[in-house]
Amino acid sequence: MKKFLFFTLCSLLTSSAMAALSSTETRIVNHIDNTNPQAVELLEHIVNINSGTMNFAGVRNVANVLIPEFKKLGFKAHFEEGTTFNRAGHLIAELQSGKGPKILLIGHLDTVFEADSPFQQFELLDNNQAKGPGISDMKGGDIIILQSLKALKDAGELADMNIKVVMTGDEELSGRPLALSKKALIDAAEWADIAIGFEGGDGKAVTANISRRGTVDWTLTVKGNAAHSSQVFSDEVGAGAIYEVSRILHRFYQELRSESLLTFNPGRIMGGTTVEHDKANNSGSVFGKNNVVAQSAIVTGDIRSLSLQQLTRVENKMRSIVAEHLPQTEADISFGEGYPPMAPSEGNKKLLSLYSRISQDLGQGEVVAVNPLDAGAADVSFTAEFVDMAIDGLGLSGSGGHTVEERADLNALSAQTKRAALLLYRLKYR
């Protein structure tokens, strides 16, 4: 099925490159235009529900608003509790009728704005712009998913499709272990042929993501011999922990920064006689004196890479650098769980080409790929190894994400919903 889908999509790209929309597509577009005021109203409603990741009740409340909307469309929809991974849980909606490709649509319910944030309300601005917590990241994308499906239903095209929707409740702060918190998403990806994410991408309506860099955390722990500073560099005392940390980080900088599309960042460093690291709260405490050789040091950071092969190569290189050691020191580096990369596969490129063709047929112009350096990790990355093709960044365009200036262009809501709905429609008739 999946290999067949890839090759048949190639022919679809040619046949769909028509300037005019079909009568069914015109009906889909008209429905989106006619119902856009209701879409904006629903968007305002869910933006005004605080759903910071750790506000479990708020995340569930957003799901409780959306689940009945999916059920009206014929989906089986429910909220899957996240007790086992210490998060609220996920919204899952399914429509399986046995016709056409299996398509996974990805959204998320949570935002970075917790219940104590001063940024809580939808606010309409000039030129049909709006501010609000999570309006572009990514409640606008959730509305695009829902409105696209409503338009397909109105056109009589939804009932016999195969679609799963997963809206996670922990995209902004993933539950642990990831094997549990991302299980619903991975299970859906194993079922699917195509994965489509509705994050906002780089915030521009003329771009989409066909690749995303993965990210993993790392922790470097270094030990040295505590002694009076007058004895530093002696055979018995050696270099101390802080010199060893400096050596390692400088080597990382020298030998890894030439890797294409790779970034590695030490975000926190502590060193001295004693170090207490509070990993859960991203903090710690240090005691040390200028006349004492440092006994301990800890550095934490992340790596962002474009492929699993690149990540493996970089991790091995970091381990080899760490293992060399200055005199009388020892060091260890460990790598944690993280988001896998989504490499720019041929299938992803074909899917972008189809999406761009639809945008042009709608008079909205070409859509091009986002530079992976300009996009962070996202839930779609967990699907990449299981599906034939994936794309992300189809959500509502905006700016100021993760800040109290987060805003979205409401003029783009209907336009971007049209593209998403026609993408689903044309994929149905691959």
User: Residue range 406-416: average pLDDT?
Assistant: 96
From CA 145, how far away is CA 90, in angstroms rounded?
Answer: 16
Answer with the residue of higher pLDDT: 273 or 378.
273
Which residues are CB-neighbours of 234 under 8 A, at least 6 positions away? none
How many other CB atoms sit within 10 Å of the CB of residue 312?
Answer: 11
The number of beta carbons lying within 10 Å of the beta carbon of residue 335 is 16
Regarding predicted confidence, which is higher, 188 or 10?
A: 188
As a whole number of angstroms, the longest Cα–Cα distance in the chain is 85
pLDDT at residue number 12: 54
The continuous run of DSSP H or E covering 44 comes out as: helix 23-47
Omega before residue 341 within 30° of 0, cis: no
The Cα–Cα gap between 421 and 428 comes to 11
Determine the pLDDT at residue 18.
Answer: 44
**Confidence label for 9 from pLDDT (cuts 50, 70 and 90):** low
Indicate the CATH number for domain 15-212+342-428: 3.40.630.10
Query: CA nearest 405: which of 52, 135, 40, 127?
Result: 135
Q: Using CA atoms, how far apart are residues 395 and 424, in angstroms rounded to an integer?
A: 14
DSSP letter (8 states) at residue 279: G
- Reported as a pLDDT band with limits 50, 70 and 90, residue 11 is very low
Beta bridge partners of 208: 369
Cα separation values, 372 from 127, 143, 218, 343, 396, Å? 30, 25, 21, 9, 19
CB 188 within 8 A of CB 370: no
Task: Give the type of residue at 88.
Answer: A
What pTM did the predictor assign? 0.87
Beta-ladder partners of 165: 93, 105
Residue whose C-alpha is closest to residue 134's, from 183, 85, 172: 172
Residue 380 CB-half CA count within 13 A: 34
Q: Of 299, 333, 297, 321, give the one whose Cα is nearest residue 222.
A: 297
Give me the mean pLDDT over the 357-382 stretch: 92
Q: Is the model's pLDDT at 274 over the cut of 90?
A: yes
Q: Percentages helix, strand, coil for the chain, rounded to the nearest 5?
A: 40, 25, 35
Where does CATH 3.40.630.10 sit in the chain?
A: 15-212+342-428
- Is the bond preceding residue 138 a cis peptide, omega within 30 degrees? yes
Burial of 121 (0-12, 13-18, 19+ CB in 10 A): exposed
Higher local confidence (pLDDT), 5 or 322: 322
Whether pLDDT at 85 is above 90: yes
CA 274, 279, 285: angle at the middle one, nearest 5? 30
Question: Could you please report the per-residue DSSP string of 151-191?
Answer: HHHHTT-STT-EEEEEEES-SSS--SSHHHHTHHHHHHHHH
3-state secondary structure of 249: helix
98 has pLDDT over 80: no
Give the tokens for residue 95.
């429509």
pLDDT digits (tens, 9 = 90+) for 113-138: 999 999 999 999 998 999 999 999 99
Domain 214-339 has CATH 3.40.50.1970: no
Would you state the structure tokens that stand for residue 139, as one six-digit string? Answer: 């409640």
Q: What is the mean pLDDT of residues 196-205?
A: 88
pLDDT score for 97: 84
Q: What value does the mean pLDDT of the chain take?
A: 94
Tell which phi-psi region holds residue 207, choosing left (phi > 0), alpha (psi between -120 and 50) or beta: beta
Angle, helix 23-47 to helix 56-72, in steps of 10 degrees: 150
pLDDT tens track for 133-182: 999 999 999 999 999 999 999 999 999 999 999 999 999 999 999 999 99
| pLDDT tens digits for range 22-64 | 999 999 999 999 999 999 999 999 999 999 999 999 999 999 9
